Structure 1
């Protein structure tokens, strides 16, 4: 649901776009309606405003203003790009300010781990820096950025905090905020045809300690996926992993679990670690013009690194450190978006890799795959 308006200002054109997206993936669970203590689905309504100026100073300079606003989070991004020859790296100056609940790390798993409740910790982030997009070669693209980041944890009332509800520090410095300069390089590979596709990405971040108390760390993350057409259906397999060494605040840990990780669990309900490894497999097959069948299996682990996160939030919140989610269902295709009705079964695994007691029976869940993707 949304609206769009274009305004001409001289030779320039300014586009205003407002989108409203209702993310149902965590809220629309049948058993949640029977629990009055759970959050309302209305809390996940997000409004988005996008203003673009394609010719700010008359020399094709571009200015983008993006604003996402929900009841519990917000994100403002300003990007300025000046055109350069195609054989040179395209650079843009980016400023971003966001406030969002840190549910993946400090949230408490509830309802047999299929949902995650707020842990009372929110992150207020400000960043400013330069992005460099290198000219693409064949199937590879490379992007380099250097940014200053200021991270300030706040409670639900908006007050700065240095410790969580259990008295453990939520920053690396132990103060009310963390500062860092991050040099990041990201390489992407993509190749596709009518029957298959291959994607691979690698991100490397280096914290540069320009000041004595600023964070110094090295973090990498990779993601590889392969899709193959199998008869009338489509098989998709992917693996994601990463690790971080050096200074680390709890909010920098890898959160495992959720719609984009191990389905059947709430966000971050599987584990929170310095390292992670997640594998996903999904088979989609058509049943008719508006209906697809879906089978999937997800698994993820923190590789035993949860205890190396300051304060060990994974252990304190009872996260198993490893888990498997298996599901099946149907996908309904409508003009407003795709909806999945699936049955999920989850199995938690102790860190010694022995089977743990089943954390929940099959549940009925509705997932929304929205057309609008939030920009970060």
Structure 2
């Protein structure tokens, strides 16, 4: 049923054969041992149904196609073959062979009705083509442009079925090249006025289903029952931009599968296609294999900071089958109680804007990289009885945040955090100043309370968020904080970060994408702020080659980074990098000047090389950095630095 035209050809050929039964001369010979009677042809004519000659070009094509010439001795089968040869040119919709007696022999007349001139191409069931198709470069080609490009040279010329068929195949290839892998022209219809109608089956999605896989990759158990899943189906289907009623697109469904896999609760995600109730439509089934999403662990130990301690951890990343994440970590020691309770819903149910929500309550004890004691620090600047200990930041608080994608690579987040910060020595005692009398808190007594409102905005134009080679990423954030409880103050922290990527081809270890990556970031604080809130410079995510915070801490900062990224072999990429960071001369504008008092330089350059190892957890980053002062450092992380 590919074409009504082709079906009509076959029926006409079969109908035309009996015409040979008209009165004919007596057979003159037998040829090739055939039992069929043969006739001698003295004249061969090809005319239209009115008996007129065909247009010159068409007439030449017809005579060139005929295998019978005047003087030939032919039988019925050979006349049939000649009739089919005329059909095979593609120009004729009806051909009949009519023999006529003459005194000298048979005049063989072929009455050939040609196809009309092509006047228009009309499509049916072509919703994608009607809307225009975007190519790999992002350019939209309209339906009229596609028709003109593929069929334009045939307009106002006699329709040739072979040429038309070639253009139809080119149209199907155009669909395929743009990801519409099920699209095909199901039927071709023509009318006497020269209008050709293409009935297209684009691959419309009738329904979307979800199936769960067991360890053997089966969707049914031994009794033929579907494998049950813990995850609610709407958690999967809401990630799909592919919807019932739309046309299946390979690139779109691949992106959908990546988003579903990116939820982090599945070991495997794939798709299967089955015919729908309407045979021109398809049922899409998303097959998922769930992974273990919960964990519990216990720990015990002895440390100088906590003494004897015990710990408990509980994590669940698919709470109630809703992809909600909850975690609880607690550590109980002789001198402290630390905990972190957090909850995240990555997509609030019923929200059409994909808003996520996070809440946490925490009690943390952190090594302070603002008040650490590097080799350059003067003796006695630490805390504790020895005056050599690095202070600890004890933070007790709670926070909530909301984030939302805004479309076209843009996103925004808004949050609120309350915390009490207490500076202590290793044994847990509160300290107000370091060994040289410099204040360690805003209040002057070692304890501050803060309320912080946060807002962030990002624009992502990268071609690949994991391994970008082109595009850019821009992020800006602001925090409005209020310090209260004793002396009070308002301060605002501003920070911006911009990365861009340039594709290159410098080394040729192995085929794969290469890029130069550049990053510039900076920030400043407006108003009076606690010293532990200063920007710290140096470390794994700052200037590599330096320990954390060893360059300095300031009221403002700037960091410049450049990387050359290249493949080494299939799962291993290489990187050459250089980082430069500076406090812009603002180290002495921090309360107590902690960086200046400890002899930190305030600026520094680091450079080196590293590798990126692809793993199920993401890209594992291993860098070896060399600081300009000769210090070296190995640093580790997940994902690229920027």
- TM-score, structure 1 normalization: 0.71
The structure where strand makes up a greater share of residues is 1
Equivalent in the alignment of 2:342? 78
Equivalent in the alignment of 2:636? 368
Partner SS state of residue 251, structure 1 = helix
Equivalent in the alignment of 1:64? 326
Partner SS state of residue 100, structure 1 = strand
Residues 373 and 598 of structure 2 are in contact (CA less than 8 Å); yes or no, is this contact kept in structure 1?
yes
Residue of 362, 374, 381 corresponding to 1:96: 362
Equivalent in the alignment of 1:350? none
Q: CA deviation at 1:263?
A: 1.1
2:607 pairs with 1:331: no
* Map 1:25-64 → 2, pairs under 5 A: 49-52=314-317, 54-55=319-320, 62=324, 64=326
Residues 401 and 415 of structure 2 are in contact (CA less than 8 Å); yes or no, is this contact kept in structure 1?
yes
Residues 1:272 and 1:292: Cα distance change in structure 2 (over 3 Å): same
Q: CA deviation at 1:150?
A: 1.2
Partner SS state of residue 315, structure 1 = helix
Give the Cα separation in 1 of the matches to 2:295 and 2:502.
36
- TM-score, structure 2 normalization: 0.44
Equivalent in the alignment of 1:254? 535
Q: Which moved more, 1:174-183 or 1:254-263?
A: 174-183
1:183-234 CA-to-partner distances (Å, cap 9, x unmatched) read 1101111122264131111110112467674441111111111123312522
1:345-375 CA-to-partner distances (Å, cap 9, x unmatched) read 433xxxxxxxxxxx227x4x5433347x9xx
Q: Which moved more, 1:274-283 or 1:196-205?
A: 196-205
Structure 2: gaps spanning 5 or more residues: 1-228, 233-264, 266-291, 298-310, 383-387, 506-512
Equivalent in the alignment of 1:109? 374
Q: CA deviation at 1:264?
A: 1.2
Partner SS state of residue 474, structure 2 = strand
Partner SS state of residue 237, structure 1 = strand
* Map 1:3-18 → 2, pairs under 5 A: 15-17=293-295
Residues 241 and 275 of structure 1 are in contact (CA less than 8 Å); yes or no, is this contact kept in structure 2?
yes
Residues 1:140 and 1:162: Cα distance change in structure 2 (over 3 Å): same
* Map 1:93-242 → 2, pairs under 5 A: 93-103=359-369, 105-110=370-375, 120-193=390-463, 195-208=469-482, 213-231=487-505, 232-242=513-523
Residues 1:260 and 1:196: Cα distance change in structure 2 (over 3 Å): same
Structure 1: gaps spanning 5 or more residues: 1-7, 20-45, 348-358
Partner SS state of residue 461, structure 2 = strand
Give the Cα separation in 2 of the matches to 1:228 and 1:48.
43
1:133-158 CA-to-partner distances (Å, cap 9, x unmatched) read 24522211111112222111121112
Q: How many residues align?
A: 316
Give the Cα separation in 2 of the matches to 1:68 and 1:300.
36
2:547 pairs with 1:266: yes
Relative contact order higher in (CA < 8 Å, ≥ 6 apart): 1
1:14-65 CA-to-partner distances (Å, cap 9, x unmatched) read 942369xxxxxxxxxxxxxxxxxxxxxxxxxx99752346349xxx694612
Residues 302 and 321 of structure 1 are in contact (CA less than 8 Å); yes or no, is this contact kept in structure 2?
yes
Partner SS state of residue 145, structure 1 = strand
Residues 109 and 266 of structure 1 are in contact (CA less than 8 Å); yes or no, is this contact kept in structure 2?
no
